[in-house]
Chain A
Amino acid sequence: MRIVLAHEGDQIAVGLAAALGGAHCMTPKELSRAGWVHEPTTDAEDTLSVDGTVVPARAITAVITRIAAVASSDLPHIVEADRGYVAAEMTAFLLSFLTKLACPVVNAPSAGSLMGPSWTPVRWRAVATRAGFAAPSDPQERGQLVVVVGDRCVGARSPVIEQSARSLAKMANVTLLGMRVIEGDAAPELVAVEPWSELPPAAIDSLDELLARGFS
C-alpha cells in the first residue's frame, strides 16, 4: 500500500495518488481514529488506521509527503481552542512515525519538516547559488518546471540546467524536487522551488518506477 500524505482538500495529491496505482490519500484527520500505535524506540511493529482499518506498518510500501506540518485548518473536527496544540502534537507524531518506517518516504522528513528540509525561500536561494543557479533576472517570469526524481531529471532544456537542478536536490538531500527555472544568459536562473506543484506525467512515471524498485 502506498500513501500520499496531504492537507485536506489537496486535489493535486488526490490526482497523484490515483496516478500512483491507487495510493491512499491520507489527511491528518485520519490521525483522529483508533488504531495508531507507535513505539518510537523499540523494534515493535507500529500500526496505523487507514480508512478506519488497522494496518501494520509493514503493509506500507511507500509514503509521499505533501505536508510540512499539520495545520490547524486540517483539524475542523477538533474544538477550536485545541486545534493548534493537536496540530503540533500530530506533527511531532508523524515525524517520529515516518522516520521509523522501513519503506521509502519521499521526501524524507527532517527535524523541521515532514517533507524534506524546512528551508525558507531565502535559504533555497542561498543554496541554489552554490548549485550553480543565478537569481532570476526577471522576477515576473514564471520559468519552466524542472523536476528531479531520484537520478532522473524531467523538463530540463539544457545539460547545465539539469546539472544545477541535480546539484540542488543533492544539497537539499531530497529525492523529489520541483523548481521553476529560466535558462539565463550566463547561468540558469532559479525562480522558485515548488514542492507542491503538479508533477508532469514523465515525473510521475519516474517516481512510480523509483518507488517500485524501493530506491535501489
Chain B
Amino acid sequence: MILLWGLSGDDPLDDVAEALRTTGTEFQHLDQRSVLESNVELAANGVEGRVTAPGIDLRLADVTALYIRSYDGRMLPPVRAGGLDAIAHLERIESALWCFADLAPIRVLNRPSAMHSNNSKPFQAKLIRAHGFDVPESVITTDAEVARAFWAKHRSVIYKSISGVRSIVSRLTAMHLERLADIRWCPTQLQEHVQGTDYRVHVVGTSVFATAVRSAADDYRYAGRQGLDVTFEPCELPAEIAERSVRLAAGIGLPLAGLDLRHAVDGRWYCFEVNPSPCFTFYEQHTRQRMTDEVAGYLAYQ
C-alpha cells in the first residue's frame, strides 16, 4: 500500500494519486486537511503502528512507499481555530509520521532528515560542490565594506535569502549601496552573477528530466513582475551532467529532487540549489514530460 501525505488540491500529490489510480495501484491519501480527525499510533520502535483517518485504517507495516507533500499544518484553518489542543494533536501526528518516514525500510519521497539541507543554501552549496558541480562565488557578511569589495570585484552581483524562506533573486544595483549598512543586522549573501542558460532538472530515482528555461529575468519564477517572458522546453542534458545530477540527488539522500542548474557561457555547469520537494507538475504542464508517471512508478516499484 502506498501512502500519500499532504493536502488535497496540491498538484503533485493529486496528479500522482491520479496516476496511481489509472494504473490500478493501491494507495491511500492521508489528507492534512483532516488532521484533527486523523490519528497515528506509533510503536516504540518507530516503524510499526496504525494510521486512522476518515476512510483510512492502515497498519504501517502494510505501507510499502510514502510520498510526502505536507505543508505547515499550523496554518490549516481547523488547527488555527482549535487552539493549543489542536496544535498538540497536530504535533503528535507529525512527530510520529516524520519518525516513521525516516526509519521505515520502504521507499520514501523524501526522507525528512534528507530534506533539511535545503534550509541552508550555503550549507547545501558545499554538498553540491563536493558532487562536482560548480557553485557561484559567494560571501555572507554583516560588513558593508566587504560587500562593497565583493561588488567591486564581480561587478554583477545578486543577493538572495540563504534559508528555506523563499525570496526573489535580485541584482545588486547602485541604489542598494545607500542601504548597504543595513546588512549589519543580519548576515546577508551576495553572489556573483553567472551568465548562461537555466535548466530545471528533476531527478526521480535514476531518471532525469531536463527543462531549459529561457528568460531575461534575474529570477524566472517572477519574470512576470519584471514584465518579461519565460519559456520552458524539454531537453536532453549531456550524459555526464545527467549522471552528476543523479549522483548529487542520491548523495544528499533525495530520490526525488529538483535541481536548479545553469550552463554558463564559459561552458561550466553551475548548480544553485537542490529542491527536496519539487513542484514538478508545473514544468510538466509546460513540457509534457512524464514526471508524474515516473514518480508514481517509483512509489509502486516492489
Measured CB to CB, the residues of A under 8 A from B are: 31-42, 49, 77-78, 85-86, 88-93, 95-96, 99-100, 110-112, 117-118, 120-123, 125-127, 129-130, 135
When the two chains form their complex, are residues A89 and B46 in contact, meaning their CB atoms are under 8 A apart?
Answer: no
When the two chains form their complex, are residues B122 and A123 in contact, meaning their CB atoms are under 8 A apart?
Answer: no
Nearest first, the 6 closest Cβ-Cβ pairs linking A and B are: A126-B46, A40-B122, A111-B116, A96-B122, A112-B116, A88-B163
When the two chains form their complex, are residues A122 and B42 in contact, meaning their CB atoms are under 8 A apart?
Answer: yes
Task: Give residues of chain B (177-235) contacting chain A, Cβ–Cβ below 8 Å.
Answer: 184-188
Tell whether A38 pairs with B98 under 8 Å between CB atoms, given A92-B119, A99-B123, A126-B47.
Answer: no
Which of B99, B129, B146 gathers the greatest number of chain A CB atoms within 10 Å? Answer: B99
When the two chains form their complex, are residues B126 and A31 in contact, meaning their CB atoms are under 8 A apart?
Answer: no
User: Least Cβ distance of A89 to chain B in Å?
Assistant: 5
When the two chains form their complex, are residues B46 and A123 in contact, meaning their CB atoms are under 8 A apart?
Answer: yes
When the two chains form their complex, are residues B44 and A129 in contact, meaning their CB atoms are under 8 A apart?
Answer: yes
* B140, CB-defined interface residue at 8 Å: yes
When the two chains form their complex, are residues A92 and B122 in contact, meaning their CB atoms are under 8 A apart?
Answer: yes
Task: Give residues of chain B (26-55) contacting chain A, Cβ–Cβ below 8 Å.
Answer: 42, 44-47
Please name all residues of chain B whose beta carbon is closer than 8 Å to the beta carbon of A100 when the two chains form the complex. 126
Interface size grouping (class) on chain B: 35 or more
Measured CB to CB, the residues of B under 8 A from A are: 42, 44-47, 95-96, 98-99, 102-103, 112-113, 116-117, 119-123, 125-126, 129, 135, 137-144, 146, 161-165, 184-188
Give the nearest-CB partner of A38 in chain B.
B140
Q: Kindly identify which residue among B42, B123, B137, B141 contacts A92, using a CB–CB cutoff of 8 Å.
A: B123
Please name all residues of chain A whose beta carbon is closer than 8 Å to the beta carbon of B141 when the two chains form the complex. 36-38
Please name all residues of chain B whose beta carbon is closer than 8 Å to the beta carbon of A117 when the two chains form the complex. 113
When the two chains form their complex, are residues B135 and A41 in contact, meaning their CB atoms are under 8 A apart?
Answer: yes
User: Least Cβ distance of A67 to chain B in Å?
Assistant: 14
Complex alpha-carbon distance, A93 and B162, angstroms: 7
Give the nearest-CB partner of A36 in chain B.
B142
Complex alpha-carbon distance, A125 and B141, angstroms: 39
Q: Kindly identify which residue among A33, A40, A110, A112 contacts B125, using a CB–CB cutoff of 8 Å.
A: A40
Tell whether A111 pairs with B119 under 8 Å between CB atoms, given A86-B185, A123-B98.
Answer: yes
Q: Kindly identify which residue among B102, B117, B142, B161 contacts A33, using a CB–CB cutoff of 8 Å.
A: B142
User: Least Cβ distance of B275 to chain A in Å?
Assistant: 14
Tell whether A33 pairs with B164 under 8 Å between CB atoms, given A38-B141, A40-B122, A112-B113.
Answer: no
